[in-house]
Structure 1
Amino acid sequence: MTTQAVEPAEVDDLLSRRRGPVEQIQHLLHRNPALSPLIVLVLAIIVFGIISEGFLRPQALSLLVQQMAVVGALAAGQTLIILTAGVDLSIGMAMVLASLVMAKLAFDGVPGVIALLIGIVVAIATGLLNGFLVTRINLPPFIVTLGTFSIFTALSLLYAQGQTITLNPGAFLLVTGSSLRLGPVSVTWGVILMLLLFLVLGFILHTSAWGRHLYATGDDREAAQLAGISTRKVLFSAYAVAGLCAGVAAWIVAGRVGGADPNAGLNYNLLSITAVVIGGTSLFGGRGSVVGTLIGALIVQTFNSGLALAGVDPNYQVLATGILVILAVAIDQWIRRVRG
């Protein structure tokens, strides 16, 4: 008498039949981290489209995307850090420091391309410093980046002497602020640059060995080490790439504000973390995607723009963001308890 083997697909089908509706939703969200923020984004667009007459106009939507480009670029780098179960509280000020360096060099007569490259090198150096302190000195990421946040803030103020740097019209660094017309919609080159950044990072994370190692390190660092993964190198490289993302964000913000402001990055640290968390990336590491982060950044800006168009007090906009973060973390905790 022979026993017929049960295929894995049949096992999954049998298990799904035993689960209740709530458990099936839990498993669906666990398999697709970007699904829950996508649902929130669609609902938010529908609601604000109903309560705010001009919200769904092409001009308003294009402005919304332009406003989230800087946060989106920073959140792309923040995603890499949070996937490793860390956090970068300094990435916003790293962007400000890099933007000041490139803007001041360009203002002093250095060719724009060279000024841009030097600024990006400065941004990468901030990531390398964070990575060195986390991987070689074995300090907690929270403490390291809290300290470097203050360091980068002080360096920014000292370098710019507390002054805003305004670039002349037509400067190379302002290219990211110029617009490209696509029918009724206007899209800046900064938005296109941000989308390219997400595209490249998403491709690398899901097709390369480095991406798989990054997820494995964040999911269980000890198990990753036993599997032969050099987790120190993975962590160090993640902070370096996050620094590169800060450099890209610095170029985008320079084009958006017409120069550089030493006081511009105070909120960007928290906004980048907010976008990542709302986008479905787990604060405990090993689960999430840059697609979810992009959706999360859109959610944050959708709520801010929608509430502003509805005439809601700005304080309530901050309140709404805080509620979204708490709900996102609560949903993540619930999803992580998935069984079977």
Structure 2
Amino acid sequence: MKSLLDRLPPLSSTGPFFALLAACIFFAFQSDRFLSGQNFSLILQQVMVVGVIAIGQTLIILTAGIDLSCGMAMALGSIVITKFAVAHGMNPYLAMLCGILVCTLIGFANGALVTLIKLPSFIVTLGTMNIIFATTQLYSGAQTVTDLPAAMLFLGNTFQIGQTNITYGTVLMVSLYLLTWLFLRDTAPGRHIYAVGNNPEAARLTGIATNRVLIGVYTLAGLFYGIAALLSVARMGVGDPQAGQTDNLDSITAVVLGGTSLFGGRGVVISTLIGVLIVGVFRNGLTLMGVPSVFQILVTGILVILAVATDQLTHKKG
């Protein structure tokens, strides 16, 4: 007979939700402005770019990999989108498609290097991160791109529910999480991602084309970075070559706080959204309390260490 403790869901799946709930309760007592629809909408707006990047990061971490180039890929995508439209007079919709394509190709290149040359994902994406950063600075001349067409700002526009303004970009982010969750749960390719992350050799012996799965994962992650570039442009109203410099670490933080194992093969993408919200809630709540930003970074670091320690202990127990 299993004990009650054994019957409980694993801490990695329930912990993020209770951590988010506890944070909301704490900040609700610290500021009367926290529990308002407008404030929650603001939190979602603040995290939507990193939130979409974190979807791609989750897919890669599920395969026991990691991507340090995601923020730079997003920044290059945003510069391609805005420069093509403003400097070269391209149709804005075609420019947006080109930016997404560039990010997708970056993801494909990362996946090809990881699988075909058998290089560690950390080293590959560390190298491509620097290459992409330099490319972004050279192509943009380190100058912000302004005077964007209205079509590029649509996802930053809002609609109203009650007294709360909600951006279309927030709706897109949540929709992408739901679609990815269904993909991972209900399709054979989604289950193959878990299998490759859990034991690549066993997955290969069962007939799964592991290299194809990995290349597909990195390419799909690049697609999400391209969508994040659209959200970044829409939210800031400019193409900023300095954007995304901390988004790689922020996305990894969100994935880890969401309970996805760094060892691969275990995690739920919806929990990554909870991880994104945990970071957003802490930063928003501490700001409302008047706490300096340096302490926000300190708290985030502590949360990451606790989440990784929990993952390590769970992995050893398994």
| Structures share fold, TM-score greater than 0.5 | yes
Corresponding residue for 2:135? 155
Corresponding residue for 1:231? 210
For the residue of structure 2 that corresponds to 1:53, the secondary structure is coil
Question: Quick one: which of 208, 215, 220 aligns to 2:187?
Answer: 208
Q: Distance in 1 between matches of 2:118 and 2:314?
A: 30
Q: Distance in 2 between matches of 1:279 and 1:76?
A: 11
Question: Quick one: which of 107, 126, 133 aligns to 1:146?
Answer: 126
Q: Is the 8 A contact 1:34 1:291 kept in 2?
A: no
1:117 and 2:97 matched:
yes
1:249 and 2:249 matched:
no
Q: Distance in 1 between matches of 2:109 and 2:80?
A: 17
Q: Is the 8 A contact 1:126 1:243 kept in 2?
A: yes
Corresponding residue for 2:74? 95
Corresponding residue for 1:292? 271
For the residue of structure 2 that corresponds to 1:245, the secondary structure is helix
Q: Distance in 1 between matches of 2:273 and 2:91?
A: 32
Q: Is the 8 A contact 1:93 1:149 kept in 2?
A: yes
**Pairwise CA distance, 1:95:** 0.4
Which amino acid counterpart does residue 158 of structure 1 have in structure 2?
L
Comparing 150-159 with 170-179, greater Cα deviation is found at 170-179
**Pairwise CA distance, 1:180:** 1.1
RMSD (Å) for aligned C-alpha atoms: 1.2
- TM-score, normalised to structure 2's length? 0.97
Aligned residues: 317
Corresponding residue for 1:273? 252
Unpaired segments of 5 or more residues in structure 1? 1-13
**Pairwise CA distance, 1:166:** 1.3
- TM-score, normalised to structure 1's length? 0.91
1:187 and 2:129 matched:
no
Q: Distance in 2 between matches of 1:186 and 1:171?
A: 19
For the residue of structure 2 that corresponds to 1:186, the secondary structure is strand
Partner deviation per Cα, 1:31-89 (whole Å, 9 max, x = no partner): xx432100100000000111122111111111011101001000000000000000000
For the residue of structure 1 that corresponds to 2:10, the secondary structure is helix
- Which of these two proteins has the greater Rg computed from alpha carbons? 1
1:307 and 2:266 matched:
no
Q: Is the 8 A contact 1:84 1:219 kept in 2?
A: yes
Corresponding residue for 2:115? 135
